[in-house]
């Protein structure tokens, strides 16, 4: 089975396991979010850093706590830190920490959005020491950071930038395959014929072998 660990697309495909992402925004407060799960067996739920409301984040967290235990919720995310967009970083950090605690409580991995905040993210992991895995989605940085993050126990998920950037290709080559995932996010890329295919070419391995390896990573996370 191919795996798309982070997607905003509701379309389904029998050959691809997709983890559909649902963002708890102020606009969804008061709605029956389970309704949004639709037919999806695998969902990630979280408060995106851009969606954190200074006034209403406690309500957003309450909804997350309510949804997190649902068996269809496979991960808490995307959650994280973004220095370029969203509310004040202090508030983002506070809400991020609360969501990490939710992930810990339900023993589900966190899918992390991180923009220009890797030092803060590394510092938080060092202090909080979460037992749940942290998957940094949409990784689009260089070898050095990829190595540092995987050495510190983070998982990295690659998507569109793997197709476009030689630096990101080098980053994929430099880290253990046991800590790798692939995704489409909200981009118009195809998970198998573009993302997996590109990765298999870069790594010089058969796409079927890659498929099984990545799915094994998923099974190991979700035990
Ligand atoms: Zn996303």
Residue 99 has pLDDT above 80, yes or no: yes
**Residues 6 or more apart from 145 whose CB is under 8 A from it?**
118, 171
Range with lowest mean pLDDT among 24-28, 110-114, 157-161: 24-28
Mean pLDDT of 62-89: 96
**Residue holding tokens 């997709």?**
18
pLDDT at 37: 79
Residue 12 pLDDT exceeds 70: yes
Distance 24 CA to ligand 1 centre (A): 13
Amino acid 36: pLDDT:
78
Residue 8 marked as a ligand binder: no
Task: Please state the φ and ψ torsions of residue 24, each to the nearest 5 degrees.
Answer: -90, 100
Ligand 1 centroid from CA 212, angstroms: 24
120 annotated ligand-binding residue:
no
Angstrom CA distances, 23 to 2, 142, 180, 200, stand at 24, 28, 23, 31
Report the pLDDT value the prediction gives residue 80, as an integer from 0 to 100. Answer: 98
pLDDT score, position 169: 98
Nearest to 195 by CA among 39, 21, 42, 6: 6
What's the CA gap between 171 and 150, in Å, rounded? 11
Per residue in 120-139, pLDDT (tens digit) is 999 999 999 999 999 999 99
Look up the CATH superfamily of 2-221: Metal-dependent hydrolases (3.20.20.140)
Residue 113 known to bind ligand: yes
Please give the pLDDT value at position 41. 85
Q: How many C-beta neighbours within 10 Å does residue 115 have?
A: 16
Q: Is the pLDDT of residue 39 over 80?
A: no
């Amino acid at each position: 089975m191919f795996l798309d660990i982070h997607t905003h697309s509701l379309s389904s495909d029998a050959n691809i396991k997709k983890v559909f992402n649902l963002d708890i925004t102020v606009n969804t407060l008061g709605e029956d979010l389970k309704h949004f799960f639709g037919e999806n067996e695998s969902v990630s739920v979280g408060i995106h850093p851009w969606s954190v409301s200074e006034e209403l984040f406690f309500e957003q967290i309450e909804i997350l706590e309510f949804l997190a235990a649902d068996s269809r919720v496979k991960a808490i995310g995307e959650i994280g830190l973004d220095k370029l967009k969203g509310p004040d970083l202090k508030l983002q950090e506070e809400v991020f920490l609360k969501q990490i605690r939710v992930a810990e409580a339900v023993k589900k991995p966190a899918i992390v959005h991180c923009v220009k905040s890797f030092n803060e993210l590394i510092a938080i992991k060092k202090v909080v020491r979460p037992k749940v895995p942290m998957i940094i989605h949409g990784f689009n940085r260089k070898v050095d950071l990829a190595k540092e993050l995987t050495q510190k126990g983070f998982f990295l998920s690659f998507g569109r930038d793997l197709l476009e950037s030689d630096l990101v290709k080098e980053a994929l080559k430099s880290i253990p395959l046991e800590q790798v995932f692939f995704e489409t996010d909200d981009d118009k890329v195809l998970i198998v014929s573009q993302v997996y295919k590109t990765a298999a070419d870069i790594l010089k391995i058969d796409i079927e072998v890659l498929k099984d390896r990545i799915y094994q990573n998923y099974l190991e996370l979700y035990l």
